[in-house]
């Protein structure tokens, strides 16, 4: 049986959720490593992820997912 956990949160809580994973948002709105603000978080296609694009983190790793249709379709095929 494949159990899935889903967490839904208000967009106002993005920074708090990111903080739980050791991430922060820089002055340009890009998600970065809290311990190394020069290291940007990348999506599955290698692009920087902005706070407003943050859609979630895939289980088992820190693969960040944008909240656009293409990213969600890619996730559904994995």
pLDDT recorded at residue 1: 43
> Is 50 in contact with 42 (CB distance < 8 Å)?
no
Q: Per-residue pLDDT tens for 45-78?
A: 889 999 998 888 776 667 677 777 777 777 666 6
CB atoms within 10 A of CB 74: 14
**H-helix or E-strand spanning residue 71:** helix 69-76
Q: Per-residue pLDDT tens for 9-53?
A: 677 888 998 998 899 999 999 999 999 999 999 888 889 999 998
């Amino acid at each position: 049986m494949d159990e899935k956990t889903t967490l839904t949160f208000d967009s106002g809580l993005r920074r708090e959720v990111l903080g739980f994973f050791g991430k922060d948002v820089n002055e340009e709105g890009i998600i970065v490593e809290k311990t190394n603000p020069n290291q940007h978080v990348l999506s599955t296609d290698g692009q920087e992820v902005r706070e407003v694009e943050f859609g979630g983190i895939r289980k088992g790793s820190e693969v960040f997912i944008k909240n656009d249709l293409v990213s969600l379709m890619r996730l559904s095929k994995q």
